[in-house]
Amino acid sequence: MATALIEPMTSEQLFRMPPNRKIDRWLWRGEIREAKVTKRNPGHAKTTISVGFNLKRWLLTRPSPRGGVYGGEAYFRIRKEPETNVGVDVALSYPEQELQTTGKSSFIDGPPLIAAEVLSPYDKKIQIDEMIEEYLDCGTPMVWIVDPRQKTLTIYRKDTEPIMYSGMQLMKDFPELPGFECPVNEMFE
């Protein structure tokens, strides 16, 4: 019996599908993935805003053209072959991406400079590990995993050990974020 080959789905095909308020959809290496939409708890929502605020505060100190800070599961197409697009809790885009993104865009093209995922009680470790690996493999320089329960922020980079910050530790000296300084506890206020 012959096995039928299924063509990978594209972002354009995904975004032509009728929206469903109960199902979240995204592409993972050309395959559609779906999950039940969950409501975010207060800790997740508050932390997401705080992370975005701190990145935006830094971004406004930078000369133009600037990147953008996105939240609320903003879609980024992080891989073109096969296509992978992900909804990021908080992301910092490159200036070039910001210039190419319009009000009619369905997604931001390319991996973000920073992808920050805020953990929720529904997240599974295997899914988080897979997501970190995919972001880094696709060229995202920094992935932040933010844990509102433990009040920690762990930074992942390709080919290096992760670094965990907590309490009053100062996050600074990142080549991607010149001049950025922030005590990690401010990410949870």
SS3 category, 142 = strand
Question: Which pLDDT score is estimated for 4?
Answer: 53
Q: Looking at the DSSP assignment, which residues form a beta bridge with residue 27?
A: 32, 85
Question: Which pLDDT score is estimated for 151?
Answer: 96
State the pLDDT confidence band at 144, using cuts at 50, 70 and 90.
Answer: very high
Vertex 119: Cα angle to 113 and 125 (nearest 5): 100
Average pLDDT, integer, range 110-139: 93
Question: Which pLDDT score is estimated for 2?
Answer: 53
Question: What is the spatial distance between Cα 79 and Cα 142, in angstroms, rounded to a whole number?
Answer: 16
Over residues 151-177, the pLDDT tens digits come to 999 999 999 999 999 999 999 999 999
Average pLDDT, integer, range 133-140: 96
The answer to whether residue 1 scores a pLDDT higher than 60 is no
Core vs surface per residue 65-78: b (16+ CB within 10 A) or e: ebbbbbbebbbbbb
Least confident of 2-6, 32-36, 49-53, 82-86: 2-6
Question: What pTM does this model have?
Answer: 0.86
Q: How high does pLDDT run on average in the chain?
A: 89
Average pLDDT, integer, range 90-97: 97
Which residues lie below 8 Å from residue 96, measured CB to CB, with a gap of 6+? none
The answer to whether residue 106 scores a pLDDT higher than 90 is no
Question: What is the spatial distance between Cα 187 and Cα 83, in angstroms, rounded to a whole number?
Answer: 32
State the pLDDT confidence band at 120, using cuts at 50, 70 and 90.
Answer: confident
Higher pLDDT, 180 or 32: 180
Over residues 29-48, the pLDDT tens digits come to 777 777 776 667 788 899 99
Give Cα 24 to chain centroid, integer Å. 15
